[in-house]
Amino acid sequence: MARWDSAEDKPSIPEWFFEAVETAPEQRSVEVDECDVMYRRYGDKAKPGMLLIHGMHAHSRWWDFIAPQLTDEYCVVAMDLTGMGDSDYRYEYSGDGFADEIKAVCDDAGLDSSVVVVAHSFGGGMAVKAANKFPERFGKLILVDSGIRHPDEPEPDRSGMMNGRSKIYPDKKAAEARFRLQPPQDCANTYVLEYIARNSLMPADGGWAWKFDDDLPVTMTNADRLPEDFQALSLPLGVIYGADSESFSARTLEYMRELIPKEFPVIEMADAQHHVFLDQPLDFLRALREILPKVGH
């Protein structure tokens, strides 16, 4: 990848970031219900497995600067759920189908039943469904700013988010300039956002569009976060969340503790919002390494 930190008016991009994103993964796919599910595998296949799952309208490359830094201990796989990234689009999507995709990627990538699943936001909800559908397939689950709101906790107003058809931009640079995080938040690490934007676009109708299926939200079924999904969890669990997140609150955590039968460790990341690993990538890695030995003990 070309380095783009030469502009004098931009803050310097740290060397660790370039070392990570310049680490080339093995790119593979597995067919699930007639659709190709793409994934990226890093590190020694003989090491314990870790699967990284992205949030809604995101993709595996959101983990490009995280995954290579975990290969000292793990064989790390980052997947694209269908309808997002480079995986195929479906006519209809479902929580049950996403659960099948998660299992299939672990199987195809050679990740055994001790695999650690690290899942952000929407991906966390789908990982919970996978853990309940295949309770013996996974070793641990780390939910990253992903949980279930108490019924009395009001949802943020997101009526204007991702409505209508995705816009086609005349050129890639114009599209990159329009990249925004959802739910909306600022992020001091602009180089992270620039990198993700560059890798979130595909040619479309003579221009450029984002790598997700516009029909995904309206054709999706059985994807709601249900209390019974969390009550049924038997997989050892850990939670990392942003203290300033609008998607995960102290009330959310309290409700999860009411629902989930076993105790689980939690790390609250100070000054982080919903996209915790974009806000504080190195602190997120430290939090992940800190919580993993505590999960299941």
Tell me which fold the domain 15-150+220-294 belongs to.
Rossmann fold (3.40.50)
For 67-118, the pLDDT digits (tens) are 999 999 999 999 999 999 999 999 999 999 999 999 999 999 999 999 999 9
Q: Is the pLDDT reported for residue 163 higher than 80?
A: no
For 104-162, the pLDDT digits (tens) are 999 999 999 999 999 999 999 999 999 999 999 999 999 999 999 999 988 776 555 54
CA distance 41 to 24: 9
Question: What pLDDT score was predicted for residue 2?
Answer: 54
For 1-12, the pLDDT digits (tens) are 456 555 455 668
Q: Taking the model in full, what pTM does it have?
A: 0.95
Report, as an integer, the average pLDDT of 251-263: 96
Report, as an integer, the average pLDDT of 168-175: 93
